[in-house]
Structure 1
Amino acid sequence: MKKITLNLLTLMFVSTMLGQTFSTGTIQFYPEYGVKIDVTPTLVTLTQTMPSDRWYALAFNNNSMSSGDIIAFINTANISDRQLGGFGVPSADAIQSWTTTSNTTTGTVRTVVSTRALNTGEAGDYVFSASAGSINLACSRSASASFGLAPHGGSANAVTTAAYGLTLANDSFNIESFKMYPNPAKGFTNIELPTNVDFGSVKIYDTLGRVVKNQEITTTSNEISTSDLNTGTYMVVLRTDYGNATKSLVVE
């Protein structure tokens, strides 16, 4: 598997109630690859969305891809629990700790939901904590349609990521409730923040994963110009102190 040189991705788990689920919310490593991690006192649930024609891999608490705990989807019933060890193809663990509860494909998009215990007891497995904290994530993918994991220098591609600060709101807050209008946009769009949220930051990504807009917004200053963007579809990522959310924006 290819060694990944990546930006550090820190995921902050914040809860307002004892025993509440801690969550990263949905994060987009790349427009085509989304990850969500939910942690309760007894269980970790990992939800991944990805193209259906290639492998993807996700490493926990790793920022060099030289060693550490990793899972990979290689077109099997379950995701594959593995260990990184230098530049070669990651070897499978003797004990497969993750159980895939759902593996569905709609069109060209696959959604895989998997679970495991916070602490598997197996050497090398990352130990999740059901409390506020952080975890570094890194990911890689096949550069083309393939399910054969590749070593460093092979067909593996690093997925460059932005540095997201991800938080969990309380149960009454829904970050996904933010509104964006007009959409399709002709010259501008407005971002309406959810109730009780006063400010946030917006990044707009093109289909190649490049940031084409980066702007702070408030409840009174929320217009974003799109007049300098080419016609097409973009991904809008809203970041707030209460969580992150993404929506698609069409520019005409």
Structure 2
Amino acid sequence: MWLSLLPWGFVLLGLLPLWLFPRQESIYPGLVFLLAALVLAAAASLYARVPLGPQVRFFWVLGLGLMSSSMAVAASRDLAQIPEDLAVVASVASLMGACMFLIGLFFLLQRETPGLPSPLQMGFRNHDGIMPYAALQALAASLETLSTVRPVTLLLLHTRTDQPGAELLQYLRQPDMVFQLKPGQFLIVLQGSNLEGAQVVFRRIRQNLAILAYGVLPLQGISVQQALAQLGGELQHYYLAQH
């Protein structure tokens, strides 16, 4: 909660000269800078709720907050008769805001992994831990972003049409996710696992469940839809080879 309020505090700080110095007769372009400050503060407040790592979220909110403060100082400069030295604060705040963004980007790319939004929070209900295809479509962008900073491997399984998907969960780790694309076809999203790790998972599943065909592909540099099309092609090629 305090993080979402921080940008508004920066805006009030930048508007403080309006109460300390005489007003200007004209409100233009000060009013434009004031609107820009409010928009930036609103964006920063929303960034406080974005599903990112805590350090990335903090530095990005701080960066947008400092930029909103610089806009507020610029608005005060045009709406009130403030000293020129005080107006330099706007450029300094903008520079610091850009630096905060770079620090947040560093943590995003090097140290932190963006969290996936919960399908339940997005309005999707799972059945015994198995999520529908619509949930996969909603999470596609987040999965593609996640794959840029840590391994994400897709494992497509073709089983009997009456195979309960919940039985797959006992062979997976907590962060892994299972989506039912259609009866007897399941997509397992393995987080933090490469191709070798996916093969280990598949061997565990095949030893206990009847698997008719499977495909495995790392999600790296391609979209989820492209990966599904490639995996579907592998399954089709397998069935053609069998016949």
TM > 0.5: no
Q: If the length of structure 1 is used for normalisation, what is the TM-score?
A: 0.24
Q: Which has the larger radius of gyration?
A: 2
RCO (CA 8 Å, sep 6+): is it higher in 1 or 2? 1
Q: If the length of structure 2 is used for normalisation, what is the TM-score?
A: 0.24
Higher strand share: 1
Higher helix share: 2
